[in-house]
Amino acid sequence: MALRHAVLAALLDEELSGYQLAKAFDLGVANFWHALPQQLYAELARLERDGLVTGRDVVQDTRPTKRLFRVTGAGLAELDRFTASASKPSFLRDDLAVMVQAADHVDAGRLIERLTERAAVARAKTELFGTLLRTMRGDRSEEEFLRHGERIGPYLTCLRGLAFEQGNHDWCERTIAVLRERRAARAGG
Amino acid sequence: MALRHAVLAALLDEELSGYQLAKAFDLGVANFWHALPQQLYAELARLERDGLVTGRDVVQDTRPTKRLFRVTGAGLAELDRFTASASKPSFLRDDLAVMVQAADHVDAGRLIERLTERAAVARAKTELFGTLLRTMRGDRSEEEFLRHGERIGPYLTCLRGLAFEQGNHDWCERTIAVLRERRAARAGG
DNA sequence: CCACCATACTCAAAAAAGTGAGTAGTCATA
DNA sequence: TATGACTACTCACTTTTTTGAGTATGGTGG
C-alpha cells in the first residue's frame, strides 16, 4: 500500500488540502503513482486517523473552507520505515501495448491512429516535464542543482517521468514506422 | 478491463493451458500487463463463458489433465473492437519512485540499497529481453525481421519492455551517483 | 443572465487486483 | 526416504482502484 506513502511524500514540501493535493498529484506524483481525488481524500482521512498527518481548517471569504494537511513526526518515521522495506518491482500497465501485441491480427490503420495519439500525449508530457525541471532548478545547471540543491527528490522522479515519456514517444514512432512500411510493402507487393 | 484483451492477445499464437499462460505471461505479456495465475484462471473461465475462447481437456499420462484454450472468431472480433477504442494513458506505478520522491527526508544509504537492487533486477530483465528478441528474430537482423517477419506484435512489445528496463537501470544508476556525491560532499564539507 | 468552470469536498458501489491457503500427483536430488 | 520443486489448478477473502454520482458556492465569458 504505497498510496499512503506517495501522499506523505507529496506533502513533504507543502501543507496542502485534498483538492490541492489532487492537483499536485496530477502534475508530479502521478508519473509514478496515479490516483483519483476520491482516493486522496480517503487516504488523507486514514492518515490523519493514524496520526501520520495533521489537518487544520482554513476558513476563506469567497471559497469554501478547506482542510490543510501536513506530515507529522510519525508520518516521517513511517516514510523512513517504508524506505527500509524492499520495493516491489515497477509495473508497466499499458492498453496500447496489449493492442500492439495483437498487431498481426488487428487493423493496422487503427493501430497507427492509437499510436499517433499516444505519441502526441507523450510528447506533450515530455514538454511539461522539461518545463517542470527547469522551474525546479531555476538558473542552475542540472549538475549544479543535483549537487547542491535542497530538495532533489521531486527532480529525480521527474527525470524518471521524462525518460519514461520519451521512451513511450520513441516506441510509438518506431512502431508506426514499422507498421506503415509493412502496409506499404503489402500494398506494393 | 484490458486483462481480458491481454489474455486474448497472449493466446493468439498458441493454444495454452491456464498454467502455461501464467508462464507465458511472466515471460512476455507481464511487461505491459502484470497478472497473477489466479486472475488468469478466472479470466479464462469468463472468456470461455462469453465464447471468446474455447477450451478442450487434454488427458496426460504422468501429469494432471489440463485444459487448453484458443481464441475464437468472436475473440478475434473482440480484440479488433478493443483496438478501435481509445487507449488509456499508460501508468508507471513504482514504489521506488515514491521513496526517491522523499529522498531528502529519508536515509540515503538505504535508498541507495533499494536503487542498487532495482538496478540489478532491471539489468537482468534487459538481458532476458535481449535473449527473447534474438530468439524471435532468429538469424535475421531486426530491420529484416520487422519488415518481413510473420508475427511482429510480441517483438514490438518486447522492444518496449527492453527500453523500459534500460530506462529503469539508467535512472537507478544516475540517482545512486547523485545520492553518493551529495553524501560525500556532506561528509567532506 | 445563464451556462460553465473552479474550488472543495462526500458518498456509494462495482470492478479489478492481490493475498493466502489448499489439493493432488510426479519427479529429481540428497 | 523425505524434501522440495514442478505441473495444474481451485477457493475464499481482502484490499485497491475505478466509476459515477451528488452538494454547495463564487467567479467568468458571451
> Is any atom of nucleic acid chain C found less than 7 Å from the CB of residue A46?
no
Average pLDDT over residues B110-122: 96
Structural domain tally of chain A? 2
pLDDT above 90 (res B183): yes
Question: Whole-number Å distance, CA B85 to C1' C15?
Answer: 19
Average pLDDT over residues A69-97: 95
> Is any atom of nucleic acid chain D found less than 7 Å from the CB of residue B55?
no
Alpha-helical regions (H) of B50-152: 73-84, 95-101, 108-137, 142-148
Find residue A67's DSSP bridge partners.
A57
A101-112 pLDDT, tens digit each:
999 999 999 999
Q: Domain for residue A163, yes or no? A: yes
> Is any atom of nucleic acid chain D found less than 7 Å from the CB of residue A34?
yes
Please state, in angstroms and rounded to a whole number, the distance separating the CA atoms of residues B68 and B17: 4
pLDDT at residue A61, rounded to an integer: 86
Q: C-alpha distances in angstroms, B163 versus A112, A169, B31, B136, B168?
A: 20, 11, 11, 17, 9
Q: Domain for residue B90, yes or no? A: no
B50 and B76: one domain?
A: yes
The domain boundary residue, chosen from A39, A54, A84 = A84
pLDDT above 80 (res A189): no
Q: Domain for residue A89, yes or no? A: no
Who among B83, B98, B174 is closest to A9 (CB)? B98
| Grid cell for residue B101 | 520522491
A31 and A102: one domain?
A: no
B69 and B124: one domain?
A: no
Q: Domain for residue B32, yes or no? A: yes
Cα torsion angle, A179, A181, A184, A186, sign:
negative
**Cβ pair B28, B157 in contact under 8 A:** yes
Cβ atoms within 10 Å of A81's Cβ, excluding its own? 11
**Cβ pair B163, B96 in contact under 8 A:** no
Contact A94 B185 (CB under 8 A): no
Alpha-helical regions (H) of A16-101: 18-27, 37-49, 73-84, 95-101
Contact B101 A185 (CB under 8 A): no
Q: Which domain holds residue A50?
A: 3-84
Please report, for the domain that includes residue A35, its CATH number: 1.10.10.10
Q: Which nucleotide is nearest to A62 (CA to C1')?
A: D26
Q: Give how far B60 is from chain A: nearest CA, Å.
A: 31
pLDDT at residue A77, rounded to an integer: 97
* Helical axes B153-188 vs B108-137, angle rounded to 10°: 160
Instruction: Name the DSSP class of A88.
Output: P
A106-150 pLDDT, tens digit each:
999 999 999 999 999 999 999 999 999 999 999 999 999 999 999
Please state, in angstroms and rounded to a whole number, the distance separating the CA atoms of residues B19 and B100: 36
pLDDT at residue A154, rounded to an integer: 98
- Please compute Rg for chain B using Cα positions: 21
Contact B171 A160 (CB under 8 A): yes
Ranges of beta strands (E only) in chain B are 16-17, 53-58, 66-71, 91-93
Q: Specify the residue for cell string 520505515.
A: A81
Q: Domain for residue B27, yes or no? A: yes
Going by pLDDT thresholds of 50, 70 and 90, the confidence category of residue B110 is very high
A19-61 pLDDT, tens digit each:
999 999 999 999 999 999 999 999 999 999 999 999 999 999 8
Q: Domain for residue B175, yes or no? A: yes
Please, what is the Cα angle at B30 between A117 and B132, to 5 degrees? 95
A146-180 pLDDT, tens digit each:
999 999 999 999 999 999 999 999 999 999 999 99
